[in-house]
Amino acid sequence: MDKIKRIRYEISGILAVVSGLIVFISLVTHYQWDPSPATTATDARNLLGIFGSYVSDILLQAVGFTAYLFPILLCVFGIRQILGKQGKHKPAAAVAVLLILVVSVSSLFTLVLKDPSGGILGSVSTRISLKLLSTTGSYLLFVPLAFVTIMFLTPFSITDFAREIRKKAVMPRMPVPFKNKKKKKEQPHIEESEPVQAAPYKQKPLPLVYPAEIKQRTARKAKGEYEIPSIELLRDPQPAKSKPSKDELLASSELLAKKLKDFSVDGSVTHVTPGPVVTMFEFEPAPGVKINRILSLADDLALPLKTTSLRIAPIPGKSTLGIEVPNRERETVYLKEMLASEAFRKSSSKLTLALGKDIF
């Protein structure tokens, strides 16, 4: 191998190892509520910032725990490139085998640990295999596939492995040389004396100290002629954009019910409440449908509804679940509008805060 080609191999190997470390750090420091395509957060706890949170979320959503296989493969590939070891297989064949390995491992994660351990890829492939081959057939399909692809990508051989085990089993053991034990020196006999008991110590009782009585103080009235600033100092709210029509809300309700039914969740949308930022759909599940199953579908429903994220929570005092979906066109909520509201003006408390608008 000439010098220029070797330098290229070393550079590509270093880049592959660095990429593997970046993916590994992103996955290890992944936080569920970091900025990602599925959330609307702005601050990232990931050690690699927003880039790391996006990389880890996309990989975990796509293939689940199989994402940890990527940094291992990148580092192994990079080390082989640095050492100048060329692969025996064509790149197209290696990529195809790698794809089969990812599908097999993701499916096995889904079969053993259930959703969403294998990501979207594992969930889809497992759903197809269970429908065609049942559980036993799925194991008989994915376990050999994963094993064969690992043998294809690595120099591992079953024949060589069996030969090594046979050699170790048949090879006679070398005799261990006999070691003369030295005679232990006789230890001098020491007579133990009886323990001396100390006289009991009597502690005088400590005097009790009672805390001083805490006096309550009444609030002092403010002195002077201070006046609260007028709300006219605040910016006037801009006219609201056109809200979704009744037909649009009805179509969204039918789409939501249809997508839930695709996940084997029967029920109906009983009420829709549009708000400035989110629209809440009240969904009444059919008898026998578990609430926890619906709550776990938040990420799965976000993709078909073409939104980054949504929130599902029970509504207190009702037999329905609230599904909050972000609006495509969000309105700005102005502070002046909230301070001028009747609920704020008629509040008797002096500590009333204006935090936002309720949608119901």
pLDDT at 327 over 80: yes
Q: For residue 316, is it within any domain? A: yes
What average pLDDT does the segment 102-124 reach? Answer: 87
What average pLDDT does the segment 316-343 reach? Answer: 86
The two tokens of residue 111 are 């079969």
Q: For residue 112, is it within any domain? A: yes
Whether residues 152 and 21 share a domain: the answer is yes
Domain holding 43, by residue range, is: 3-160
Whether residues 142 and 36 share a domain: the answer is yes
List of residues 6+ apart from 21 with CB closer than 8 A: 71, 75
Q: What is the pLDDT of residues 46-91, one digit of tens each?
A: 888 888 888 988 898 888 898 998 898 889 888 888 887 766 667 7
Closest C-alpha to 300, from 99, 123, 129, 130: 123
What average pLDDT does the segment 308-322 reach? Answer: 88
Instruction: Give the integer Cα–Cα distance in Å for 55 and 57.
Output: 6
Whether residues 31 and 150 share a domain: the answer is yes
Q: For residue 202, is it within any domain? A: no
- Prediction pTM value: 0.43
Whether residues 27 and 155 share a domain: the answer is yes
- Of the residues 120, 142, 160, the one at which a domain ends: 160
Q: What is the pLDDT of residues 177-201, one digit of tens each?
A: 555 555 555 555 555 556 556 556 5
Closest C-alpha to 107, from 64, 60, 150: 64
What's the confidence (pLDDT) of residue 340? 87
Q: For residue 334, is it within any domain? A: yes
Residue 305 main-chain phi, psi, to 5 deg? -85, 0
Residue 248, domain CATH: 3.30.980.40
Kindly list the strands in the beta sheet with 321-326, ordered across the sheet, starting from the edge strand earlier in the chain.
267-274, 278-285, 321-326, 311-314
Residue 103 main-chain phi, psi, to 5 deg? -65, -45
Q: For residue 360, is it within any domain? A: yes
Whether residues 360 and 257 share a domain: the answer is yes
What's the confidence (pLDDT) of residue 305? 82
Q: Could you tell me if 268 and 285 are in contact, meaning their C-beta atoms sit under 8 angstroms apart?
A: no
Whether residues 254 and 107 share a domain: the answer is no
Q: For residue 179, is it within any domain? A: no
List of residues 6+ apart from 36 with CB closer than 8 A: 53, 54, 57, 58
- Of the residues 112, 137, 160, the one at which a domain ends: 160
The two tokens of residue 59 are 């990989």
What's the confidence (pLDDT) of residue 177? 53
What is the count of structural domains for the chain?
2
Counting other chains too, the contacts that 151-160 makes at CB distance below 8 Å and 24 or more residues apart are: 152/89, 152/97, 153/73, 153/94, 153/97, 153/98, 153/101
Mean pLDDT over each residue of the chain, to the nearest integer:
81
Whether residues 152 and 18 share a domain: the answer is yes
pLDDT at 206 over 70: no
What's the confidence (pLDDT) of residue 306? 81
User: Which residue has 């959503």 as its token pair?
Assistant: 61
Q: For residue 38, is it within any domain? A: yes
Q: How many CA atoms lie within 13 A of 299 on its CB side?
A: 16
pLDDT at 173 over 70: no
The pLDDT > 90 percentage for the chain reads 10
Q: Is the dihedral of CA 88, 91, 92, 93 positive or negative?
A: positive
Whether residues 11 and 146 share a domain: the answer is yes
Look at 89-98, 161-170, 292-301 and tell me which has the smallest mean pLDDT: 161-170
Whether residues 252 and 117 share a domain: the answer is no
Within the chain, how many helices (H) and strands (E) appear?
11, 4
Whether residues 147 and 265 share a domain: the answer is no
Whether residues 266 and 125 share a domain: the answer is no
Q: For residue 27, is it within any domain? A: yes
What average pLDDT does the segment 192-216 reach? Answer: 60
- Of the residues 160, 185, 204, the one at which a domain ends: 160
